[in-house]
């Protein structure tokens, strides 16, 4: 009989929705949600169960509705939606407000990102906004 891997403890940071890592030196409210544009937002069984509970669905319904299987990575990932800035973005991002619509039920990878006080994209975005002399400029490269 094969053993199941030990569940990974997912830390929940004491922060306001959408602000970012505790002690962060960046502000997610001023970002177009670059991290939500990653092509593969990996999700595990625990994350699917959390989404199922959040939406009042069965595990299988949540898995089918919200995830896709990535053959190359041999893992489940969140589905995407079209986006005007990044072409494709997490299906749970509100594309108007650029905020997560499932913040309390977000996957572990989102809870952990970034796991340092600095966000590289935020630093790049601040630099580009100064260079462009536009406080709302969105760098998509």
Q: Is residue 123 part of a domain?
A: no
Q: Which pTM does this prediction carry?
A: 0.72
Q: Is residue 102 part of a domain?
A: yes
Do residues 105 and 47 make contact, with C-beta atoms less than 8 angstroms apart? no
CA distance 122 to 139: 10
Check pLDDT > 60 for residue 39.
yes
Residue 81 pLDDT: 96
Q: Is residue 94 part of a domain?
A: yes
Q: Is residue 54 part of a domain?
A: yes
Residues 6+ apart with CB under 8 A from 18: 28, 29, 99, 100, 103
Domain that holds residue 81: 37-112
Q: Is residue 18 part of a domain?
A: no
The per-residue pLDDT for range 72-127, each reduced to its tens digit, is 878 999 999 999 888 999 999 999 988 999 999 999 999 887 777 777 787 888 88
Q: Is residue 6 part of a domain?
A: no
Check pLDDT > 90 for residue 53.
yes
Nearest Cα residue to 31 out of 135, 117, 132, 115: 135
State whether residue 14 is helix, strand or coil: coil
Q: Is residue 60 part of a domain?
A: yes
**What does the block give as tokens for 120?**
């590289």
Give the count of domains, the chain.
Answer: 1
Q: Is residue 25 part of a domain?
A: no
Helix or strand (DSSP H, E) at 55: helix 45-55
């Amino acid at each position: 009989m094969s053993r199941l891997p030990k569940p990974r403890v997912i830390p929940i940071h004491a922060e306001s929705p959408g602000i970012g890592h505790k002690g962060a030196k960046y502000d997610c409210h001023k970002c177009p949600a670059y991290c939500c544009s990653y092509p593969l937002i990996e999700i595990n069984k625990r994350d699917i169960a959390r989404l199922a509970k959040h939406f009042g669905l069965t595990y299988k319904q949540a898995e089918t509705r919200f995830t896709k299987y990535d053959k190359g990575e041999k893992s489940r990932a969140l589905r995407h939606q079209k986006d005007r800035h990044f072409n494709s973005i997490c299906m749970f991002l509100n594309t108007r407000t650029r905020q997560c619509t499932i913040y309390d039920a977000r996957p572990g990878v989102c809870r952990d990102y970034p796991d340092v006080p600095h966000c590289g994209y935020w630093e790049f975005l601040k630099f580009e906004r100064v260079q462009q002399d536009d406080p709302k400029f969105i760098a998509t490269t």
